[in-house]
Amino acid sequence: MTQENSRQRRAPPTALITKPRARSAAGVREIFARFEAANPEPKGELDYVNAFTLLVAVVLSAQATDVGVNKATRKLFEIADTPQKMLALGEDVVREHVRTIGLFRTKAKNVIALCEKLIAEFGGEVPTTRTELESLPGVGRKTANVVLNIAFGEIPHAVDTHVFRVANRLRIAPGKNVLQVELGLEKAVPPAFGRHAHHWLILHGRYTCKALRPECGRCIQQDLCDSPDKRVV
């Protein structure tokens, strides 16, 4: 028997290589009912005063912590809470305010550029559609979804690393990439829980269902979780 044939015999049948099975509708509803009972009004952890400062904060939060962004924007938002005021500061001043945040040079440039576009094309107002938001410098699909959810009360599902992990571990919306998980959440999350779903998932992933050392002993979903990452307690 050749070495190649030996490897072929050891390989698992293709039929067995499947993605995790999604949880039943009743199971998903139970998960979100528990999240709601534990935290009826979850809030995001970025500080902002209006839709514009929320947009800027979310743009700055890419590859950065909310705590770090809040420290950097506290004084900035006190003096520039509109696109006009931010643009008047200029890129150099904005860059100094956000220099403690990763990729601060690129982010400061994007903030100024999005202010210019908001003023030129949207009358200085934050647009209310995903397509328009994604047309702004530094704004991708996740950022647009966060703004739509928090600022305008819509129910898109912004998927960051925490949401991606929890949605897969709890089999709410298994997927191999963020778009698969986002589309899966759109189908799986009951409408009654849609407005807060993003915050419940991100907070659960940030503080309990952590990437390396999930705190399964205090998880309110422990008995429903069959993830291979589950820690025996």
Short-list 96, 79, 97, CA closest to 88: 79
| 160 counts as catalytic | yes
Cα 12 to Cα 145: distance, rounded to the nearest angstrom: 39
Cα 19 to Cα 173: distance, rounded to the nearest angstrom: 11
| 229 counts as catalytic | no
Q: Which of 75, 81, 160, 229 is catalytic?
A: 160
**Cα R_g (the chain), whole angstroms:** 21
Q: Are 82 and 103 in contact (CB under 8 A)?
A: no
Q: Which of 47, 66, 109, 142 is catalytic?
A: 142
Cα dist from 188 to 72, 130, 137, 182, whole Å:
37, 21, 31, 10
Cα 38 to Cα 152: distance, rounded to the nearest angstrom: 24
Q: Are 184 and 173 in contact (CB under 8 A)?
A: yes
Catalytic residues: 142, 160
